[in-house]
Amino acid sequence: MNFYILTLFPDMVSDGLHTSIIGRAVQNGLLSIETINIRDYTLDKHKKVDDYPYGGGAGMVMQAQPVYDAWKAVVDRIGYRPRTVYLTPQGGVFHQSQAKELALEKDLILLCGHYEGIDERVLEEIVTDYISIGDYVLTGGELAAMVMVDAISRMVPGVLTNAASGSTESLEGNLLEYPQYSRPEEWNGKKVPAILLSGDHAKVDAWRRSQSIERTALRRPDLLEKATLSQKEWESVKDLLN
């Protein structure tokens, strides 16, 4: 999968995404992450990319021309108009299900804004998806783009070495993940739950499922409402929900 990130701060994005698991996937050729500096496309002789907002008000607005030309350079190169995401607190809130869905794309353009935003006319022209990473305001779209690239990339087949770990995890089926333990068997006076040492896989699976349900009820009751539980499972958590 190929990501094209349109930004005024290419180093910030590039440095953050060429390390660890995502960096390895890039090296292995499973992903490419290209940053495009919007400033390289301005026709202004002082390399300016922003100007005052019409109608007045605080801050500056990123102008349409450099944003459009940076986007168009990618489109001309790949030969079609891929999905183009604008990172903005005005978008719908990003969710795991969208990460999975976007991981099916061959190419994805992510547009990062700064200042008071981007001229609406270019957004109308190029943006297919308006996405927020949460109900708070960042100074720019770069961190949000990095979050999205990370979450989408790990859903691309082969990026996670343990194939199962992309699906049996938090938020799968709207449940949080069960607690995990590793050696030693006893740490700080606390023992690993005995069932995990039993070698009985069916029992371990049942215990993990009940832990997932209980944890979701306690920490994210809003999610649990969307999960599919048996009658018996609902009975088991109803006391935790009130």
Nearer to ligand ADE, 99 or 213 (CB): 99
Residue 93 CB, shortest distance to ligand ADE, in Å, is 8
Nearer to ligand ADE, 28 or 90 (CB): 90
- Check: CB of residue 111 under 8 Å from CB of residue 86: yes
Nearer to ligand ADE, 85 or 213 (CB): 85
Residue 181 CB, shortest distance to ligand ADE, in Å, is 34
Other Cβ atoms closer than 10 A to 234: 14
Nearer to ligand ADE, 102 or 213 (CB): 102
- Check: CB of residue 215 under 8 Å from CB of residue 227: no
The binding site for ligand ADE (CB under 6 A) comprises 87-89, 132-134, 136-138, 141, 144
Give the list of residues 6+ apart from residue 126 with CB closer than 8 angstroms, or none. 67, 68, 71, 81, 84, 109, 111
Residue 37 CB, shortest distance to ligand ADE, in Å, is 18
Q: Residue 159's closest CA among 81, 212, 99? A: 99
Residue 165 CB, shortest distance to ligand ADE, in Å, is 26
Residue 90 CB, shortest distance to ligand ADE, in Å, is 9
6 backbone dihedrals φ, ψ, rounded to 5°: -90, 120
- Check: CB of residue 36 under 8 Å from CB of residue 78: no
CA atoms within a 13 Å half-sphere pointing along the CA-CB vector of 121: 7
Nearer to ligand ADE, 107 or 142 (CB): 142
